[in-house]
Amino acid sequence: MRRRLTPVRRGVDPVDVITLPDGVTEGMWRRELERWQNPRLRTLLGCLRRLDAVHESNIAILNCSPSRLVVMWATVREVAALVRADLAPLLAEPSPIPALDASRQSVAISLGHLEATLLAQIDGFASDAPSRQEHELRRFLCVAVGQIHAFLQDSFGSLMASDPRGTHDADYYLSKEFPRDVEESEWLYASVLALDADFRQIERERRRLFPDFLERVAGNQHLPDPAEWSGMASFLRHLGTDFAARLRTILLLRAIRLTELELLSHHASEIPIACRVLLELYESGRQAVNALAFARAAPAAGEEGHRMAILVDGTLSARLLPQARALDDSLRDLGAFIPIWRQGVSQRRALAFRGPPRIDLSPIQDGEPPAASS
């Protein structure tokens, strides 16, 4: 037989009737609530609030100011200390409610794994790591902030879903961060789809232009004439401005992962540089060859001017060729990565909610659940 507690009023709105499992008295639940469950929830939400101040995109962490890095590092260390000192003891006491005890054990196991991996790595950094190990720390924080946040968020959802006061599943009881994370994941997915569509057109242009261009430059050993170059020049300008700008915009998205960020950062910086080098090298070379050709027409220049024009033409075309090949290789690599990335982002997208979740993150009073509504 299940026991039903008398409804309790918060203000004028009644709280749902709580149904307790067989063998669990109202007194047992009240003690559990006041000594363990509410303190656990308060600790998790308090840690989430602190971490929210530094829960930023990877690109922001990698490029923030040294003073901001100090704040991030101090916050992560503070949250790690709170998890160890406050949350871990609150997970030690078994619950008389089977579902809640199963969630408690699951969170405790997750915390043990976090302790053996991420928290141990935090201990491996010195307190003044922002000044002594800046590069390593920035990369570590990209991973650490996300992992700690995921642990806190998932733990809160699990414990609250198993609470007798709860009437929803775990996804409903996530912190205010979760809806934003879902929205940002969806925006990343939409951005990757748009990037993929843009790159399909770029790939068609690359296949049309580059093989013939590379073959002509390598075989003739002189700069293409302006008519041959015009199509390539237009492609390079679009690639180095519009497409590179789209890549840089995606780098700012919060849901992008560190490995994705590093690969795209390389292409976002290298592609516009390569395009600019090719454009400038050709224009400078064409101007030099034209100037020598004009000077060659003067009686005093003669054969010497002709040889100089051939030498400059051959030298600059030889410089142009490896730059064009490097850009071609970079575009091929990016073309191989984008479909894989699109599939990966699709697989990790958050599932749609039944409705937009909201949760009141005001401090929990003993004996009261966090107020939630859909």
Sequential DSSP letters for 228-262: HHHHHHHHHHHIIIIIHHHHHHHHT-TT--HHHHH
Given 142, 175, 208, the domain boundary residue is 175
Q: Give domain status of residue 363, yes or no.
A: no
Q: 255 and 157 in one domain?
A: no
Q: Give domain status of residue 103, yes or no.
A: yes
How much is the pLDDT for 266?
Answer: 87
Q: Give domain status of residue 314, yes or no.
A: yes
Q: Give domain status of residue 366, yes or no.
A: no
The rounded distance, in Å, linking the Cα atoms of 309 and 318 is: 14
Q: 165 and 263 in one domain?
A: no
Tell me which of 22-26, 144-148, 155-159, 190-194 is least confident.
22-26
Residue 9 confidence (pLDDT) above 80: no
Q: What are 113's two structure tokens? A: 């794994």
The rounded distance, in Å, linking the Cα atoms of 189 and 313 is: 47
Report how many domains make up the chain. Answer: 2
Q: 82 and 40 in one domain?
A: yes
How much is the pLDDT for 227?
Answer: 85
Q: Give domain status of residue 319, yes or no.
A: yes
**Mean of pLDDT values over 63-88:** 93
pLDDT category at 319 given cuts 50, 70, 90 is confident
How much is the pLDDT for 213?
Answer: 87
Sign of CA dihedral 256, 259, 260, 266: positive
Q: Give domain status of residue 33, yes or no.
A: yes
How much is the pLDDT for 305?
Answer: 61
Sequence-distant (6+) residues with CB within 8 A of 294 are none
How much is the pLDDT for 295?
Answer: 57
Q: 163 and 280 in one domain?
A: no
Residue 365 confidence (pLDDT) above 50: no
For 3, the 3-state DSSP assignment is strand
Q: 200 and 166 in one domain?
A: no
Q: Which residues are paired to 373 by β-bridges?
A: 358
Sign of CA dihedral 292, 298, 301, 306: positive
pLDDT category at 337 given cuts 50, 70, 90 is very high
Q: What is the DSSP letter of 10?
A: E
Q: 99 and 49 in one domain?
A: yes
Q: 225 and 170 in one domain?
A: no
Q: 217 and 330 in one domain?
A: yes
Residue 196 maps to which CATH number?
1.20.120
Q: Give domain status of residue 3, yes or no.
A: no
Q: 165 and 34 in one domain?
A: yes
Q: 166 and 217 in one domain?
A: no
Q: Left, alpha or beta for 23 (phi > 0: left; psi -120 to 50: alpha)? A: left
How long a stretch of residues is the chain?
374
Q: Give domain status of residue 9, yes or no.
A: no
How much is the pLDDT for 91?
Answer: 92
Chain centre distance of CA 118? 18
What would the pLDDT profile of 229-241 be if each residue is shown by its tens digit? 899 999 999 999 9
Residue 290 confidence (pLDDT) above 80: no
Q: 98 and 191 in one domain?
A: no
The rounded distance, in Å, linking the Cα atoms of 84 and 67 is: 26
Given 130, 146, 175, the domain boundary residue is 175
Tell me which of 43-47, 64-68, 340-344 is least confident.
340-344
Q: 144 and 267 in one domain?
A: no
pLDDT category at 360 given cuts 50, 70, 90 is very low
Q: What are 220's two structure tokens? A: 């003739």
Residues of the domain holding 315: 183-347
Given 175, 197, 219, the domain boundary residue is 175
In percent, the amount of the chain with pLDDT more than 90 equals: 29
